[in-house]
Amino acid sequence: MDENLTHHSLVIADIAGYGMRSDEDQRWLRKELYTVLETAMAASGIDWPHDMTQDRGDSIILLIPATVPKRRITERLVHNLERELDRHARRSTAPVRMKLRLALHAGEVARDGRGWIGRDLNTACRLVDLPAGREALAAAPEANLAVVVSDSWYRGVVFQDPVLVEHFAFRRVPFVVKEVDDHAWIHVPRTTS
């Protein structure tokens, strides 16, 4: 194991309702997930971190170097991802419409020879599965994206910029799962098309 922990922004995108789809639809959605994310990242000026990506079937974990400003991830990536998901929804039938939950957190990770590990990565994985995030996306049938950020991401990035606070309108929710007892913040962009 690489004992040198390094700081990264942790971005996890998870396809909602993936397990309820047919095998053929799941294969197509996985391909589309990569296309949507790669396009949104390129439009945001963020290089795809090929050697720092973990595929989880219905989700992708991206470890973005700390040199990429978190504000760019919060503002540009979320905006461009929402735009790409809107495009995808306009071209998709209901069985393959892709709705995503996106978790944003930051922290220390290390490589163990098979992938990336660390408490902060565990926290990011818990964020993307937060029931309040699932419920928020389900409660907004016109939305294609729910963004769930850790309290530290909210305080350090979103709260520091009044434009982000006003534009994104996050709501605070309890974040109590397994080893985490904190708060998270949820934003569900509404489609404009």
Determine contact, residues 117/159, Cβ cutoff 8 Å. no
Q: What mean pLDDT do residues 21-44 have?
A: 94
What pLDDT, on the 0 to 100 scale, is given for residue 191?
52
Q: Which residues contact 22 (CB under 8 A, 6 or more apart)?
A: 95
Instruction: For residue 85, tell me if it sits in a domain.
Output: yes
| Token pair for 192 | 């404009």
| Structural domain includes residue 17 | yes
* Tally of domains in the chain: 1
193 domain-assigned: no
In a domain, 78, yes or no: yes
Domain that holds residue 49: 6-187
Question: Is the pLDDT reported for residue 193 higher than 60?
Answer: no
pTM: 0.92
CA distance 94 to 91: 10
In-domain check, residue 62: yes
pLDDT digits over 124-140, tens only? 999 999 999 999 999 99
Whether residue 192 lies inside any domain: the answer is: no
107: domain CATH number? 3.30.70.1230
Structure confidence at residue 88 as a pLDDT band (50, 70, 90): very high
Examine residue 131 and state whether it is found in any structural domain, yes or no. yes
Question: What's at 145, amino acid-wise?
Answer: L
Q: Per-residue pLDDT tens for 153-192?
A: 999 999 988 777 777 789 999 988 878 778 999 999 875 4
Tokens of 176: 């109590």
Residue 58 has pLDDT above 60, yes or no: yes
Helix (H) or strand (E) holding 7: strand 6-15
